[in-house]
Structure 1
Amino acid sequence: MTALPTAPVVVGADGSRRGLDAVEAAAAEAALRHRPLRIVHALVSPVIDFAFAPGLTGSSLQALRDQADAIVREAALLAAKVAPEVTITAEVVNGGPGQVLRDESRTAGLIVVGNRGLGGFAELLIGSVAEQAAVHGSCPVLVLHGDRHGTGPVVVGVDGSAVSMRALEFAAEEAALRDADLLALHAWTGDAATELNDTLPASSATGSDAGEEARVLAECLAGIAPRYPDLTIHREVVRGSARRLLVERSATAQLVVVGSRGHGGVTGALLGSVSLHLIHHAACPIVVVRPAP
């Protein structure tokens, strides 16, 4: 699922320390992928009723713009220090952070957001920027939660759905780029109706066993090994909660990759299950991969 080679890594800058952490991480990701980096700052123009705020003049609005320009300049300088070989562009864009990132995702290869900030791009009163990007974005979204581990595998949740296959392809490419192992995790409970697959049609199987679940994972991985012959792939078929198991694996992982929608096992019908849980609780950065358009 490789994006166009010219598609940039996009990061939102809000001037906070966590926002600058996101810029550093995005610069490193752009260098890893040999892609350009695009830094954007969302400028929300205040709605002004001059009858009640006569002191808020055009010069005040210019001051907001000047502050926004300073934020993207600082972010661009930081990114250039982290990845001097990367082509960097920085722009102030009018609009709310969530909408700006959704628009940017249409031409991006990856969106990077932080998990705390000053109310701008990095602010995750979850249901805010990261969720909006993960639910509505058109490209994978990297959420900087937990610690950025320099070692460990790339972990991916696999359930056999189309979007989890996209997540698996993304995770394999990431593991190869990072010279890391790939850990493919398939979690199951033995019931058709689980925390993640309660939208299955009535004709679906009413149960499963370990052998059947192992075959699901083997079929998903069948096309990956030939394309990445040097990639070490570990398989786990575990009976238990996908949310709990992926959070546990994130403690030693470089990255956890999940789909934003699936039919059970790992990705769930809505972002509100496994993906959302990881945005809150993962011990390392996570990537949420969207369904194909």
Structure 2
Amino acid sequence: MTDRNRTVLVGVDGSEGSSDAVRWAARLASGRDLELELVHCLQLAGLVYGGGLAGSAVLFEGIQQDGERIAAEARELALSEDASLKVRSEVFTDSAPALLIDRSKKARMVVLGRTGTGGFTGMLVGATTAAVVSHAGCPVAVVRGRHGDGPVPQDGPVVVGVDGSPNSEAAIAVAFEEASFRKAPLVAVHAWVDVVYDSTESAARLMPQWETLQPTEERLLAQRLAGWQEKYPDVEVQRKLVRDRPRHVLLDESDRAQLLVVGSRGRGGFAGMLLGSTSQALVHHSSCPVLVVRPERKR
């Protein structure tokens, strides 16, 4: 991410989740010489009636004013985190996913809050999330929390999922960078059995393979981390090799982490899928912010 432009793009809608995203993005930008771009998309669906007749100018003006208020309040909230931040806020009539995807091509990161109201309603559920996370031209952070069980620990580790795929390689690079910036330890998790067994008998039949595969998986994890540990000697790294499904292990790690970093799709995904089942599960259920990373496009 170091060669990208220095803009953090945040979708705002006036909801509590949106406010959490703005605060998180402001703290990320603070001290890194990054700029915030806050965007709000107006809800105009109610302005079109049967027969294609447009809604009244008065109604549009009210929606416009409300959108400008939301954008202004988001800007004030960002500046309350750091008054020296460079922040710009804009209001659009575009589709929220389309706007974010287009603007992400020139951004360092896109930041979204959990499901809210207004222009980004439904942003974190179903196909809309898949569209933004899968097609964005930069990493996408989904700011999640502890579901009322207290704040995300600011002194927790950065956790990254490692599986040897190109998506995983990109995630490792971003995770080391984030851990270094945050002065946090990095937990590299490699869950090397992504299989659902149908019966105790089938599990027992595969048991002997575990001992055979483990040294290979240990080498894979070590090889994937080696170059990055040399580049970031300040980052303390803990390797975690686990026989379990990745989503289970990473969701458990999210209880203690300040940030979870994953690739958009792992080596077990189906061809053509842009967002894997593990990434989807984390976006919906993680107890800390999730940063989903796709490989850099060749320019």
TM-score by length of 1: 0.87
Residue 276 of structure 1 and its aligned partner are, at CA, apart by 0.3
Matched, 1:42 2:41: yes
Aligned residue among 253, 265, 275 for 2:257: 253
Matched, 1:10 2:9: yes
The match for 1:160 is 164
Task: Tell me the distance in 1 between the aligned counterparts of 2:121 and 2:50.
Answer: 31
Q: Which amino acid aligns with 1:37?
A: L
Task: Tell me the distance in 2 between the aligned counterparts of 1:50 and 1:281.
Answer: 39
Matched, 1:80 2:84: no
The match for 1:199 is none
Matched, 1:171 2:185: no
Residues 2-36 of structure 1, C-alpha deviation per residue, up to 9 Å, x if partnerless? 242x4311111101122112111111111143200
Question: 2:25, 2:36 within 8 Å by CA — same for their partners in 1?
Answer: yes
Q: Which amino acid aligns with 2:125?
A: I
Residue 43 of structure 1 and its aligned partner are, at CA, apart by 2.1
Q: Which amino acid aligns with 1:246?
A: L
Closer, same or farther in 2 for the Cα pair 1:125/1:37, shift >3 Å? Answer: closer
Task: Tell me the distance in 2 between the aligned counterparts of 1:276 and 1:129.
Answer: 12
TM-score by length of 2: 0.85
Task: Tell me the distance in 1 between the aligned counterparts of 2:153 and 2:122.
Answer: 22
Residue 215 of structure 1 and its aligned partner are, at CA, apart by 0.6
The match for 2:64 is 65
Closer, same or farther in 2 for the Cα pair 1:94/1:230, shift >3 Å? Answer: same
Task: Tell me the distance in 2 between the aligned counterparts of 1:103 and 1:269.
Answer: 20
Q: Which amino acid aligns with 2:85?
A: V
Residues 68-125 of structure 1, C-alpha deviation per residue, up to 9 Å, x if partnerless? 1111011111111112121000001221111111112111101110112115326346
The match for 1:134 is 133
Which consecutive aligned stretches of 4+ in structure 1 deviate over 4 angstroms post-superposition?
50-54
Residue 270 of structure 1 and its aligned partner are, at CA, apart by 4.6
Residues 134-169 of structure 1, C-alpha deviation per residue, up to 9 Å, x if partnerless? 111110011012233211110000111111011001
> What pairs up with 1:1-293 in 2 under 5 angstroms?
1-4=1-4, 6-46=5-45, 47-49=47-49, 56-121=55-120, 123-124=122-123, 126-147=125-146, 148-189=152-193, 194=195, 209-264=213-268, 270-293=274-297
Task: Tell me the distance in 2 between the aligned counterparts of 1:50 and 1:269.
Answer: 37
Closer, same or farther in 2 for the Cα pair 1:58/1:277, shift >3 Å? Answer: same
Closer, same or farther in 2 for the Cα pair 1:13/1:125, shift >3 Å? Answer: closer
Aligned residues: 276
Tell which deviates more after alignment, 140-149 or 41-50: 41-50
Task: Tell me the distance in 2 between the aligned counterparts of 1:135 and 1:52.
Answer: 33
The answer for unaligned runs of 5 or more in structure 1 is 196-205
Question: 1:98, 1:132 within 8 Å by CA — same for their partners in 2?
Answer: yes
Question: 1:18, 1:122 within 8 Å by CA — same for their partners in 2?
Answer: no
Question: 1:225, 1:231 within 8 Å by CA — same for their partners in 2?
Answer: yes
Task: Tell me the distance in 1 between the aligned counterparts of 2:124 and 2:291.
Answer: 18
Q: Which amino acid aligns with 1:284?
A: C
Task: Tell me the distance in 2 between the aligned counterparts of 1:24 and 1:122.
Answer: 19
Task: Tell me the distance in 2 between the aligned counterparts of 1:211 and 1:186.
Answer: 13
Closer, same or farther in 2 for the Cα pair 1:209/1:51, shift >3 Å? Answer: closer
Give the 3-state SS of the residue equivalent to 2:176 in structure 1: helix
Give % identity: 39
The answer for unaligned runs of 5 or more in structure 2 is 147-151, 197-208
Tell which deviates more after alignment, 107-116 or 119-128: 119-128
Residues 191-216 of structure 1, C-alpha deviation per residue, up to 9 Å, x if partnerless? xx847xxxxxxxxxx98611000010
- What's the Cα RMSD here? 2.4
Question: 1:113, 1:143 within 8 Å by CA — same for their partners in 2?
Answer: yes
